[in-house]
């Protein structure tokens, strides 16, 4: 006993001194769904020879981001059809869910799925995100994976299928499906704009549909849970022409406001009861949550002619940051007034940005489709900290970076990477 007690005390001391950054990244855009992490000491520069902890090749492409849950990394991809525009047979399309060990990259298990056909045709720019664009979500015990009209699937973390359900059988003929599941209490909520023109909430244990809210049109963004100034929680989603607030418990619409006047891909962000939305057509706006009915005149705080067609913003210390999808320009905008603090074209020219920004450790990570990752200081004065490419990977990247346990997780159409100091 005399030797056991010091060992117990030593173990307790080591636990107390252990770093507090080992948080999971369980959904699209991480904790809170806003693309932010509190972790520090994250890598700033990397390459195929520097700060690359491990990499695994994937059998096919995908636009979904990785998530990290309980020491495992989950990611989806697809094979067969949709590898080149206007080529192939949809009968060969397969989707895949992979589970890897977070420390080593060792594959622990994988599942494959036959699609419900027909799917949208893979032809031209709009379809380039492919057939596995939805990032999985998890509550720490189960995994929820959305494959559009093929359904929502629930697994345990060992890969056992618990249930599957349908959010609708529709498809968008050009742009397909792209929204990720959101966990809210006992519900898993899906923006099924393309599948049924609705938000659909399922019981996360049984897969039974709990509520459905219609009128969700031309919306490819994942909803956000927003804390209001009065202490409540609202579910906010951006659709064509309107910004909408719902009660997440029953799907009852609470308010709406004039929004983005075209289809909407970027997810909203929020702070202190204010929702910030950006979209194509160079539009950004701020709306105070917590209203009733049409709140355009009473709750819209500002509206500006700046925005992004695809990438979602991050919010940090009173400023919004995002990357223009096409122009290779990054923006900083004052959150209180909407005034643009800077707009800066990146060099070397990045081409398109479809991935959403990730903010951590005083850095903003912007992942371009074909020119690697640009690391910019999270401050209202532009400063490029690094430009990182992994030699040997010339494939496309549409996925956002995940942050967990002092490491960055990035996937391209070719590989999944773990990046750490």
Mean pLDDT for the stretch of residues 150-166: 98
Residue 99's pLDDT is 98
Helix (H) or strand (E) holding 12: helix 4-17
Residue 325's pLDDT is 84
Residue 22's pLDDT is 57
Mean pLDDT for the stretch of residues 87-112: 97
What does pLDDT average to over the chain?
Answer: 93
Mean pLDDT for the stretch of residues 28-52: 97
Contacts of 187 (CB under 8 A, 6+ apart): 201, 202, 203, 204, 210, 248, 249
Handedness of CA 161, 165, 171, 176 (dihedral sign): negative
Lowest-pLDDT range of 78-92, 115-129, 290-304, 402-416: 115-129
Comparison of pLDDT for 294 and 231, the residue scoring more: 294
pLDDT by residue (tens digit) across 164-201?
999 999 999 888 899 999 999 999 999 999 999 999 99
Residue 2's pLDDT is 38
Mean pLDDT for the stretch of residues 248-275: 97
| Cα–Cα distance, 114 to 91 (Å, whole number) | 9
pLDDT tier for residue 17 given thresholds of 50, 70 and 90: very low
Residue 5's pLDDT is 36
- Is residue 3 over pLDDT 70? no
Contacts of 244 (CB under 8 A, 6+ apart): 215, 216, 236, 237, 238, 253, 255, 256
- Is residue 54 over pLDDT 90? yes
- For residue 110, what are its two tokens? 């994988």
| Cα–Cα distance, 305 to 300 (Å, whole number) | 15
- For residue 313, what are its two tokens? 């913003």
Residue 127's pLDDT is 72
Residue 126's pLDDT is 64
| Cα–Cα distance, 224 to 206 (Å, whole number) | 23
- Is residue 13 over pLDDT 60? no
Residue 20's pLDDT is 36
Residue 303 burial by Cβ neighbours in a 10 Å radius (0-12, 13-18, 19+) = middle
Residue 326's pLDDT is 82
pLDDT by residue (tens digit) across 301-324?
999 999 999 999 999 999 999 999
3-state SS class at 284: strand
Give the domains, in start order, of the chain with CATH numbers.
Answer: 23-420 (2.130.10.10)
């Amino acid at each position: 006993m005399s030797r056991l007690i010091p060992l117990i005390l030593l173990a307790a001391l080591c636990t107390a001194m252990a770093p507090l950054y080992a948080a999971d990244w369980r959904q699209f855009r991480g904790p809170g769904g806003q693309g932010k992490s509190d972790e520090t000491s994250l890598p700033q520069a990397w390459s195929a020879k520097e700060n690359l902890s491990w990499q695994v090749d994937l059998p096919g492409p995908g636009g979904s981001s990785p998530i990290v849950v309980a020491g495992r990394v989950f990611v989806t991809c697809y094979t067969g059809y949709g590898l080149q525009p206007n080529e192939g047979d949809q009968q060969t399309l397969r989707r895949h869910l992979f589970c890897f060990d977070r420390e080593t990259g060792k594959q622990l298990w994988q599942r494959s799925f036959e699609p419900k056909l027909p799917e949208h045709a893979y032809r031209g720019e709009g379809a380039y995100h492919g057939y596995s664009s939805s990032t999985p979500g998890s509550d720490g015990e189960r995994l929820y994976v959305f494959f559009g009209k093929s359904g929502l699937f629930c697994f345990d973390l060992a890969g056992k299928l618990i249930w599957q359900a349908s959010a609708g059988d529709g498809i968008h003929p050009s742009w397909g499906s792209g929204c990720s599941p959101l966990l809210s209490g006992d519900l898993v909520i899906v923006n099924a704009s393309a599948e049924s023109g609705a938000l659909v909430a399922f019981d996360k244990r049984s897969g039974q549909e709990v509520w459905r809210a219609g009128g969700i049109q031309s919306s490819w963004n994942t909803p956000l849970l927003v804390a209001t100034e009065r202490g409540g929680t609202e579910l906010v989603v951006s659709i064509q022409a309107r910004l909408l607030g719902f009660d997440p418990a029953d799907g009852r619409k609470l308010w709406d406001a004039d929004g983005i006047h075209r289809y909407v891909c970027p997810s909203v962000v929020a702070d202190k009861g204010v929702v910030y939305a950006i979209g194509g057509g160079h539009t950004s706006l701020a709306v105070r949550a917590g209203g009733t009915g049409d709140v355009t005149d009473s709750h819209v705080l500002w509206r500006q002619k700046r925005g992004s067609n695809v990438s979602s913003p991050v919010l940090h210390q009173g400023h919004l940051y995002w990357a223009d999808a096409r122009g290779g320009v990054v923006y900083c905008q004052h959150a209180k007034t909407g005034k643009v603090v800077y707009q800066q074209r990146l060099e070397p020219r990045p081409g398109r940005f479809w991935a959403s920004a990730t903010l951590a450790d005083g850095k903003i990570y912007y992942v371009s489709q074909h020119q690697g990752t640009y690391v910019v200081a999270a401050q209202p004065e532009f400063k490029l900290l690094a430009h990182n490419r992994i030699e040997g990977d010339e494939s496309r990247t549409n996925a956002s970076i995940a942050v967990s346990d002092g490491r960055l997780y990035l996937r391209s159409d070719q590989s999944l990477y773990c990046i750490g100091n």
